[in-house]
Amino acid sequence: MLADLPRLLHRLPWRRGVPLLFWLAASVALAGGAALYLRAQDRAAVQSAYADAEGAAETLEQLVLRLFETVESLHDLMQSRHGLLEAGNLAGAEALAEHLTRIAGNGRFAVQQVSMVGADGWMSWSSSGTGRIWLGDRPHFQAHAQNGAAGLYVSPPLFSRATGRLGFTASRPLRNADGSFAGMAVVLLDPSVLSRLLRDQGPRLGLVLHLRRMPDGALLAASDDPEAALHAQAEPTHAAVIAGALRHQGRLGITRRGLEQDGLAAFRAPHEIPLVAVAAVKNAVAMGDYRQRRTVVLVGTGLAALVGLLAAAMFTANRALRDRLADEAVRDPLTGLFNRRHLTEAMRPAVGATVREGGLVGLLLLDLDRFKEVNDTLGLPVGDATLCAVAARLHTTLRGSDTLVRLGGDVFAVMVPNMREAGDASALAARLLAALVQPLEVQGHAINMGASIGIALSPLDGDSPEQLVRNAEIALYRAKAEARGQHRFFEPAMDAAMQERRELEMGLRDALAKQELALHYQPLFDLRQWRVSGFEALLRWRRPGIGLVSPADFIPLAEETGLITPIGEWVLRQACADAAQWPTSIKVAVNLSPVQFRNGGAVPVVRAALAASGLRPDRLELEITEGVLLQDSEETLAQLRALRALGARVALDDFGSGYSSLNYLLRFPFDKVKIDRSFVGDLDSSSGGEGTVIVRAIIGMCRNLNIATTAEGVETEGQLRRLTQEGANEAQGYLFSKPRPAADVPEMLEEPRRRFARAAA
């Protein structure tokens, strides 16, 4: 029987209610704890409100005392002025009046005006210069004249007859030498200014500050409403608040009736000033935090049963969010492809596997050709859609094990694991390039898009993802520089060339500051007057420890890096300054880079160089190549017209080497065309020959268009004779002189004339 007792107890009905009883006990305990917590919070809120109100009332009392110290000083000064007038000291009274006017006008505290009223009730003087105004019916005058009030009197709010503004007065009687009533000294105070001062002094938590008169309880100023004094007489509770504060020795307790209306207040009554400073806190402020906490506790207690469900839901949502953020961290938001971060993470194990197991990992970097033209001509939305179309087409060309990545801009990458030989990477590059040759249909536009590819292989070209990416970038740079639309494998020599280029760029960045750049000048020979007509400025860079660097090496680098902009400005300034020292019949020719024309940059630079040097604009000849006109013909042509408007001459350099040069001659009236040296080099003393035909055609065309011609690269007297016969205007080349420093210009002016005197004859 005893052995069966546990089994019987387990089968009793009350055993099934244990979980419910436990839940009820836990709920009661939770509710009791919440009640104790809320009661403690209630008491803390009341004590905090008491402390805030008492501190604010004390602060307000100090503000009132400072204000009425000023008022008392003004009253004393007006009594002194009355005494001076009574004694007949008009000059002293006038000086004191000016002093009172200055004090009243400096905006100290809330003083609007000070004035003196005679025993007859007429205003005798005012700081605002107001004329005689009858004030005999005003309560403050009657208080002094009829009721015998001898001390300070503060009036209820009223509209001033002198200023027309709302205010209240603090007045004191004026006495004659025999003690008889002589009128009153009045200080008019602005309640709105005082209200703002009170607001600035107010404590935190939205505490309301009131300044009230005794005994009628009229509200003079309130920090929460600068215009409250307009309606002060309509609030009958003010006197009751003050009386209650006096009864409770300085503060009123919080009441529980009408929580939105009732509250607590603390007061300070300064001695000898008929005002009471009251700081009031409404229940909405004092108990605001308490009510919020009460709501939170009650709601939290009621929702305790759902905590487990909410926790599970939050855990699930948090896990989903982490997964989504992790995916976004490795995805390109535009194309949906993987990004550079994922490429590095995917390459690291693949490269490690090649080291252990053999084989190759290929990294192909693909840069789109002519993508900038799509953005510039069709807009960024079409450009973004084009990138998405390129990503889709590339994806169809790859295997499932290959990883396609967008690195940024128009650069894509393909990581190919488990390659057997380099030929596999070459074949894939050919397929990718062939896929992009076919036009893309994007938002109704047929877009022709090519690409260049750089390839690096691991472990041949690096055993880390970072090194492999770097070497693939070097190979891509070479592919773009040599022939677009092709692919190139990384070679160690490319790295050396890249390092050399980087060192050259670093040296070029300092060349201008270190004064390593210089200008040499090559003469332009006039074939009709048989004299030097000008000089072309040619940039030279003498690099310490290396010597002269070829312009063919550093000028393209300067244009690519943007350094040509400050260098070009220096060339223009220096050339104009040098030419200003030459004879006035000698001009100077300066080459302008296409980069200098971007964003309208050519015109202000030329204007500044001419202004700084004082060179006549018609002595400056600006040479441009067809590359200037290719980048934005309309904007560039507008800048060329502006340069012509300055008075400078504009020449088209290397004419004949571009496919659209003739079109540019028709669109813009160039002053000169420089015939490319490739045609001049084919001239000889006999007639005929392809070079002769082309030179003759160019000279004839320019003559009909009234454009001067200069032949470049003249090196033999036979070429000179042929150019003279064909009617060229000028010649330039080593036959006359190689480029030389500015110090040799005087010698170069005379030397060609002496050398070719026979030909002139």
Query: Do the domain assignments include residue 238?
Result: yes
> What does the alpha-carbon distance between residue 556 and residue 477 come to, in Å, rounded to a whole number?
15
How would residue 255 be classed by pLDDT, with cut points 50, 70 and 90? very low
Shared-domain flag, residues 574 and 630: yes
pLDDT tens across 348-366, in order? 887 777 766 677 888 899 9
Among 228, 261, 286, residue at a domain's last position: 286
Domain CATH code at residue 344: 3.30.70.270
Shared-domain flag, residues 334 and 314: no
Shared-domain flag, residues 269 and 358: no
Domain CATH code at residue 532: 3.20.20.450
Query: Do the domain assignments include residue 32?
Result: no
Q: Given strand 403-408, what is the order of strands in its sheet? A: 403-408, 411-419, 360-369, 450-458, 487-489
Domain CATH code at residue 77: 3.30.450.20
Shared-domain flag, residues 198 and 258: yes
Map residue 752 onto helix, strand or coil.
helix
Residue 408: its pLDDT value, please?
A: 84
Shared-domain flag, residues 317 and 334: no
Nearest residue to 189 (alpha-carbon basis) of 56, 64, 372: 64
How would residue 503 be classed by pLDDT, with cut points 50, 70 and 90? confident
Higher-confidence residue of 202 and 259: namely 202
Structure tokens of 581? 């020292």
Count of structural domains, the chain:
4
Shared-domain flag, residues 213 and 321: no
Worst-scoring range by mean pLDDT, 224-233, 398-407, 542-551?
224-233
pLDDT tens across 176-234, in order? 988 888 899 898 887 777 667 666 655 443 444 556 555 555 666 666 554 444 444 43
Amino acid identity of 737?
S
Shared-domain flag, residues 75 and 224: yes
Shared-domain flag, residues 124 and 220: yes
**Cross-strand pairs, 517:** 541
Query: Do the domain assignments include residue 20?
Result: no
Shared-domain flag, residues 249 and 357: no
Among 327, 357, 388, residue at a domain's last position: 327
Shared-domain flag, residues 421 and 556: no
Structure tokens of 242? 């003050």
Phi, psi of 236 (to 5 degrees): -80, -10
Question: What range defines the domain where residue 259 resides?
Answer: 48-286
Q: Is 580 exposed, middle or buried (0-12, 13-18, 19+ CB in 10 A)?
A: middle
> What does the alpha-carbon distance between residue 115 and residue 133 come to, in Å, rounded to a whole number?
11
Q: What is the mean pLDDT of residues 544-571?
A: 84
312 pLDDT more than 60: no
Residue 613: its pLDDT value, please?
A: 94
Amino acid identity of 163?
T
Which DSSP string corresponds to 564-615?
Answer: HHHHHHHHHHHHHHHHTTS-TT-EEEEE--GGGGGGG-HHHHHHHHHHHH--
Residue 462 contacts residue 471 (beta carbons within 8 Å): yes
> What does the alpha-carbon distance between residue 490 and residue 461 come to, in Å, rounded to a whole number?
7
From residue 337, alpha-carbon distances to 409, 428, 573 in Å are 13, 19, 50
Sign of the C-alpha dihedral computed for residues 655, 661, 662 and 665 taken in this order: negative
Query: Do the domain assignments include residue 556?
Result: yes
Worst-scoring range by mean pLDDT, 12-21, 399-408, 474-483?
12-21
Residue 655 contacts residue 679 (beta carbons within 8 Å): no
Query: Do the domain assignments include residue 39?
Result: no
Shared-domain flag, residues 578 and 704: yes
In the chain, the percentage of residues whose pLDDT exceeds 70 is 74
Query: Do the domain assignments include residue 18?
Result: no
Among 274, 297, 327, residue at a domain's last position: 327
> What does the DSSP 8-state code read for residue 449?
-
Sign of the C-alpha dihedral computed for residues 380, 383, 385 and 387 taken in this order: negative
Shared-domain flag, residues 665 and 697: yes
Query: Do the domain assignments include residue 165?
Result: yes
Strands 166-175 and 181-189: antiparallel
Query: Do the domain assignments include residue 601?
Result: yes
